[in-house]
Structure formats: structure tokens, C-alpha cells
Amino acid sequence: QVQLVESGGGLVQPGGSLRLSCAASENIFSLNAMGWYRQAPGKQRELVADITRRGITNYADSVKGRFTISRDIARNTLYLQMKSLKPEDTAVYYCKAELNLRDYWGQGTQVTVSS
């Protein structure tokens, strides 16, 4: 059982920045992959970015060049640095971990981009 706790969400103006954190209860290097997903009202949950155990990253086209996924293995923490935020980035952001063919999700953190 992997427990994930997200933090760092909030209200930010367009063009602003936020950094999300996801603290894991397991050694994240033992996980197959971790990622950030988001779900806006009335829309399906979508991948934002993910990172494999080897450190290979992948981004949704809509966030390339603006968001950066990273991890601190010593702190068992996954990050999502978000810059140049747009109103369409408004959503609940979820952290996901993959281990032994199972997916584990955090409770989500709200990001609202509005003036």
C-alpha cells in the first residue's frame, strides 16, 4: 500500500507559478513510475506529466515548456513546477504511483488560475 499526499495548490493569477509536492510513504525509487494528473470540472482526468524509475519524463503537449516534473529520492517526494499558468490549467491535480501493476492515488490538490 502506497500512500500519497499532495500539497502546494492554491489560487494564482494568470502567468504565475506554483510548485506542487507529493510525499510518498514508500521509497519512490522502488516505484515503477510516478506522475501528475489533473481533472477539471466536467472533464476526464488527464495526464500532465510522469517520470519512470529511470528518470525518463513525459509531458502532455499542453504543458510542455511550462511545467517540470522532478523528484527528490532522499525525501520520497515528487514535484511539479508550474510556470506561465493559464486559466485552462485550473483543475484538481492528483499524484499517482505505480507499483507491482497497481496504481495508487493521492487525494488531490486544487489549482485555480484566475485574475
User: CB–CB of 22/14 below 8 Å?
Assistant: no
- Residues 44-84: pLDDT tens digits? 999 999 999 999 999 999 999 999 999 999 999 999 999 99
| Whole-number Å distance between alpha carbons of 27 and 74 | 8
For the chain, report the end-to-end CA distance as a whole number of angstroms: 40
Residue 1 has pLDDT above 90, yes or no: no
What pLDDT score was predicted for residue 10?
97
Return the percentage of the chain with pLDDT > 90, whole number: 92
Alpha-carbon dihedral of residues 99, 34, 59, 46, nearest 10 degrees?
Answer: 80
- Average of per-residue pLDDT values in the chain: 96
